[in-house]
Amino acid sequence: MLLGEPPRTAYDLNFSLFGIPVRVHPMFWLFSVILGLRASDGDPTLILIWVSAVFISILVHEFGHAFAIRYYGSRPWVVLYAMGGLAGREQDFGSFSSSSRARDDTWSQVLISAAGPAAGFALAALVCLTVNGMGARVGFTFGGTGLVSWQFDGIEQFHTLVLVDDLMFINIFWGLLNLLPVYPLDGGQISRELMLRYSDDGIRRSLWLSVFTGAGLAAYGFLQMNSLFMALMFGMLAYSSYQTLQGYTGGGFGRRPW
């Protein structure tokens, strides 16, 4: 959910996978640890399991984008940083300047944006198949404040259960949130592309959709899920979209672009 590539540091982890360069910024590790502290009660092993699950899941997510970028003929690169990651290419596809692109490019942009969450869902499915292969079972329950939940029957090793549960949470729950029409999440980029295709005022409309959806999710996270983190995150994203909207339209309700 990054808007641009963060600056390089002397502490970056750099490697290449499937011919795609990957850079892991040190803030990625710090934020992953912070997110894992509450659920782990400070247990170093559980924190390590959580950070490993976050690293694997975000990397798979960004490689979903990267493979789609490469499929459409560009050379991708991946950066993991703080709250997520970025799959970039020679020409940035995450900018609001995309209004100048040819409309025939819409579907490639939509597929590139959707490929990240799709890769995460595929990883969750692989986890389920692996659990079944171990002789255990996975059951799903739909509804409630979290929309979907899962239960495992037959996994006796505690740390294995924690790893499986972390992988499912990140790739299913985070994946679903990432598809919501809030910028700069993948769902926000998808809604922008679709609105640009069918409306000359698509950017402004997609920004308003991002503002209202983000504000609604912030309220839902705080009031229904008792999640201060979710409330703060979507509240900040809604405000960021509103600031972008003010700059794009000249700062007023209903004003037209410059």
Residue pLDDT, tens place only, 24-53 = 999 999 999 988 887 777 789 999 999 999
Rg, Å, the chain Cα set: 19
**Whole-number pLDDT of residue 107:** 87
Mean pLDDT per 10-residue interval, the chain, length 258 residues: 76 95 95 84 89 96 95 92 84 43 70 95 94 84 70 85 92 91 92 86 89 92 82 91 81 41
Domain residue limits, the chain: 13-198, 199-249
**Whole-number pLDDT of residue 26:** 95
Angstrom distance (rounded) from CA 206 to CA 195:
7
Cα angle 24, 167, 112 (rounded to 5 degrees) comes to 60
**Whole-number pLDDT of residue 66:** 95
Angstrom distance (rounded) from CA 121 to CA 124:
5
Angstrom distance (rounded) from CA 15 to CA 28:
15
**Whole-number pLDDT of residue 257:** 37
**Whole-number pLDDT of residue 2:** 55
pTM for this structure? 0.84
Contact (Cβ atoms closer than 8 angstroms) between residue 82 and residue 97: no
**Whole-number pLDDT of residue 100:** 39
**Whole-number pLDDT of residue 230:** 84
**Whole-number pLDDT of residue 214:** 92
Residue pLDDT, tens place only, 90-136 = 655 444 444 334 445 888 899 999 999 999 999 999 999 998 888 88
